[in-house]
Amino acid sequence: MRLGQPAGEAGAVSFFVVGCVLGFFALAGLTFDGGGKVHEAERADAVAREAARAACEQVDQRAVLSGVYRLNRTWARQAGAAYVSSAGMNGYHLSFLHGDICKVTLTADYRTQLLDLIGITDLSVSGSGQARFVYGVTGIEG
């Protein structure tokens, strides 16, 4: 015990400092990993939009020979899944709206950096995007 310090209060300031430091790390973790989660959600939306575009490029070639333009849904599902897989995401689902719109939804996990210290290792994010199957050229563009 040092001079001028009442008995029984030794270490009282250190509990306050430890509490402040823990609070600081918690706020830093929420800020850093929260920003990372937002970035990963934006990336998931971008991947979903591109997967929908890739799916909408899959034309049914047999139908084209008879003058009908439509999606080959099997190829569309495969193309969308391949794009999502190449981007390293999972939880892929493709649906068709009104026959010519491909809608892709997917989920991904953001691996935390600072919140991992308190046991929160992953944050789930989702993304969605859609594209319309468009065909035909009516003239020279430009």
Q: Characterize the bridge pairing of strands 101-111 and 90-97.
A: antiparallel
Cα–Cα distance for residue pair 117/3, rounded to 1 Å: 39
pLDDT tens per residue across all 142 residues of the chain: 555 556 665 556 688 888 888 888 878 888 888 899 999 999 999 999 999 999 988 888 787 778 778 788 899 999 999 999 998 888 889 999 887 889 999 998 899 888 887 888 898 999 999 998 887 655 445 4
Distance CA 15, CA 21 (A): 10
Which residue ranges make up each domain of the chain?
A: 13-132
Which residue carries 């939009």 as its tokens?
A: 49
- pLDDT score at 142: 47
